[in-house]
Amino acid sequence: MGGNIFYDMKVKKKKNVSMKDFCSFKAGEKVRYMFFPKTEEELIEACDFCRRKKLQVFSLGNGSNLLFVHKFKGAVINMRAFDKIAICQQTLTCGGGVNLFSLNKFCAENGLQGLEFSFGIPASVGGAVKMNAGAFGGEICAFLRKMLVLKDGIIFEKDKFSYSYREGPLEEGEILISATFEFKRGEKEEILAKQREFLEKRRQSQPYSLASAGSVFKRKGDVVPARLIDEWGLKGLKVGGAMISDKHAGFIVNLGEAKPGDILTLIEIVEQVAKGHGLEFEREVKVI
């Protein structure tokens, strides 16, 4: 991961960390600071440091929709240590750093159904809630009941919120500490079977073996970017080590040694072609 470790604070932090190791694109430039809090107190300490230094802050789970194109002079707060899961009947509370694979496994083991559509999405709970991750007609925020968040150094609970397609209920500056979901009871074998079914659908239709950030652009009504990108003959287009997937045109994949600029160039090419057809695509991938 590189960088120097500092021990002047309780929370562990590193300097000049390459995001290549922390984003699902397996590409990314360096960030000035990365914090690794393990407790709420350490999380507050990290945020206080950033506020004093007037640093822009991003919270990080699996990094499945981020692309750091230039060196980021701000700070990234790595939430992966917030990975606990607890259950009470049909209600489940988990840390923002829990990945969806682990959450799905826990749900199956405990007979909680509803989240199977998300099996195979390489996201953390924090990232999934922020963008209201969904697939195959399901959305994660449909099961969300309350959140514990940090904003401006204050931790508080939210149980009233709204969400929409690919837009979750986290507001600007809020970091998800934990989320509480409510599911229905189900049989373990049926849940596992649905998980396998959805995973197989992904493997059949998506470039599952290559590094990517999933769908690059959002759907809008009847406008399906992947279908149009294919129709425009852009499927398989390469720039450096990046390519518009020849399996699913909505994905940009890293063929092995893609630079973040290669990926951004492909994104911008698609956007320019779309504008030529009178359309404006909205990015799902957040470019820093």
Per-residue pLDDT in tens (0 to 9) along the chain, 288 residues? 444 445 468 899 999 999 999 999 999 999 999 999 999 999 999 999 999 999 999 999 999 889 999 999 999 999 999 999 999 999 999 999 999 999 999 999 999 999 999 999 989 999 999 999 998 999 999 999 999 999 999 999 999 999 999 899 999 999 999 999 999 999 999 999 999 999 999 999 999 899 999 999 999 989 999 999 999 999 999 999 999 999 999 999 999 999 999 999 999 999 999 999 999 999 999 998
Among this protein's residues, is 24 annotated catalytic?
no
Q: Are 214 and 23 in contact (CB under 8 A)?
A: no
Catalytic residue among 24, 118, 178, 215, which?
215
pLDDT digits (tens, 9 = 90+) for 107-140: 999 999 999 999 999 899 999 999 999 989 999 9
- Is 201 exposed, middle or buried, given 0-12, 13-18 or 19+ CB atoms closer than 10 A? middle
Catalytic residue among 59, 166, 178, 212, which?
166
Which spans in the chain are helix H? 40-53, 100-109, 125-130, 188-205, 225-231, 260-276
Among this protein's residues, is 166 annotated catalytic?
yes
Q: Are 75 and 57 in contact (CB under 8 A)?
A: yes
pLDDT digits (tens, 9 = 90+) for 85-98: 999 999 999 999 99
